[in-house]
Structure 1
Amino acid sequence: MDLGLRDKVAVITGGSIGIGLAIGHGLAAEGAHVVVAARDGERAKSAADEIAGRHGVRTLALGVDVATAAGCETIVQEVEKAFGGADILINNAGTGSNETILEAPDDKWQYYWDLHVMAAVRLGRGLAPQMIRRGGGVVLHNCSICATQPLWYEPIYNTTKAALVMFSKNLANELIPHNIRVNAVNLGLTLTPDWVKTATQLTEGTGRTWQDYIQGIADEFAPIKRFASPEEVANFFVFLCSDKATYSVGSTYYVDGGMLKTVT
């Protein structure tokens, strides 16, 4: 099936590892050129080279911190220089938090707000004019089931991801007259390197393996009884970017293995 993505230019934040890297490979397999943005410039270059080598597309690696205005502006400027603009933006950069509301300081709240919300605001504002010039585009926000069904130990993550969902809806309303489709994806349990790292730390010296810990989490929270692979969820992102999803606008999609306990 031709998804109509050949020679499109896709910007992926947090693109050097996990879900972002899997989305990069998925889009490149369809012929899209990929901009890998990540804080670690060397890792971004390694990922970009991997994508280019496997799929024969053009890539660009940018070592930037999208939690800063300067980092976002660098992406906007460098994409314009290298490709003449972007057609697709995947706001994927993010990370979990661990705190209580009574103990978390202001600067922690501010950091996650900048990373999860303001990065999307700044990149949407910066790249949308390029998309308009090019005839339209797609913006996808990697949100979380926690935006709707919060976990008790990460109130900052829950709150900022919920705000990102609302921003996504507002941006969709503003940009659809310009043929730019904006959607949000609320993922459930996905086996990223962060999950493996956390599970390894928590099981060290306990006699349990990290795989045992992961399975326990899946058994407790996901009716499907397993984590998704990054490649599984990446397939959904690639579809939403494609010509096969042209009536998908302003929506929030759950890809969660049945984890959501309510009807929305």
Structure 2
Amino acid sequence: MDFGLTDKVAVVTGASAGIGLAVARGLAAEGANLVLVARQAERLNEAAQALSSEFGVRAVGAAADIATPGGVDAVLEMTTGEFGGADILINNAGTGSNETIMEADDSRWQFYWDLHVMAAVRLARGLVPGMKSRGGGVILHNASICAVQPLWYEPIYNVTKAALMMFSKTLSTEVIKDNIRVNCVNPGLILTPDWVKTAKQLTEKTGGDWEAYLQSVADENAPIRRFGTPEELANFFVFLCSDKASYSVGSSYFVDGGMLKTL
């Protein structure tokens, strides 16, 4: 199936590993050129070189902290300088939290707000005018099932991901007149390097069977009884970027193996 993504330009945040890298790879396989965004320059540039070599696309790394206005500005400057703008924006950068509301101070709330919400706001503000001039575009937000079904141990993550979901919906109504489609994806259990790292830490003193721990998490939460792979999730992102999803506007899609307990 031809997704019509050849020679499109995609900006992907959190792109050096896990879901972001899988989405970038999926887009590259369809012929899209890439601006890969993350903080660690060496790992980012290695990923860009590997994707360029494997798929014959242009891929550049933009090492930046997009939780800051200056970091966003650096990404916008590179995107304009290298490609003249972008057709696709994947707001994927983010990380889990671990706190209680009573104990977390303002700075912790501000950090996650800047990373999960303001980065998406600033990147949209910077890239939408160029998308409009190019005839349209696609913006996708990687939120979480926690936006609607919160986990008790990460209240800040829950709140900021819910805000990202609402930002996605609100932005979609503002820019569809310019042929820019905005949607949100809410993943469930996806087997990222962070999950593996956490599982190894939690089982270090009890025998180290981290795989059994992850299986227990899947058994408890997902009727499919397994974690999804980043590649499975990336396939959905690629579809939403394509003209095959041309009537998908302002929606939130759950890719969660049945984890969501409500309609």
How would you bin the TM-score normalised by the shorter chain? over 0.9
CA RMSD of aligned residues (A): 0.5
Give the letter for the 1:176 counterpart.
I
Report what 2:59 is aligned to. 59
Q: Could you report, residue by residue, the CA deviation over 1:128-155 in whole angstroms, capped at 9, with x for unpaired residues?
A: 0110111100000000000000000000
CA distance in 1 between counterparts of 2:56 and 2:65 reads: 27
SS of structure 1 residue aligned to 2:114: helix
Quote how far apart the aligned CAs of 1:228 are.
Answer: 0.3
CA distance in 1 between counterparts of 2:205 and 2:160 reads: 34
Report what 1:134 is aligned to. 134
Give the letter for the 1:23 counterpart.
V
SS of structure 1 residue aligned to 2:250: coil
Report what 2:194 is aligned to. 194
Report what 1:205 is aligned to. 205
Q: Could you report, residue by residue, the CA deviation over 1:166-201 in whole angstroms, capped at 9, with x for unpaired residues?
A: 000010000000000000000000000000000011
SS of structure 1 residue aligned to 2:62: strand
Quote how far apart the aligned CAs of 1:247 are.
Answer: 0.2
Report what 1:123 is aligned to. 123
Structure 1 segments, 4+ long, off by >2 Å, are none
> Is 1:230 matched up with 2:225?
no
Gaps of 5+ in 1: none
CA distance in 2 between counterparts of 1:200 and 1:153 reads: 18
> Is 1:178 matched up with 2:178?
yes
Aligned residues: 263
Quote how far apart the aligned CAs of 1:124 are.
Answer: 0.4
CA distance in 1 between counterparts of 2:156 and 2:6 reads: 38
TM-score, normalised to structure 1's length? 0.99
- Mapping for residues 1-264 of structure 1, pairs under 5 Å: 1-263=1-263
Give the letter for the 2:70 counterpart.
A
TM-score, normalised to structure 2's length? 0.99
SS of structure 1 residue aligned to 2:234: helix
Give the letter for the 1:122 counterpart.
R
Q: Could you report, residue by residue, the CA deviation over 1:192-232 in whole angstroms, capped at 9, with x for unpaired residues?
A: 00000000111113114110111010000000000000000
CA distance in 1 between counterparts of 2:93 and 2:245 reads: 23
Gaps of 5+ in 2: none
Identity fraction in percent: 67
SS of structure 1 residue aligned to 2:184: strand
CA distance in 1 between counterparts of 2:76 and 2:177 reads: 22
SS of structure 2 residue aligned to 1:175: helix
CA distance in 1 between counterparts of 2:22 and 2:64 reads: 19
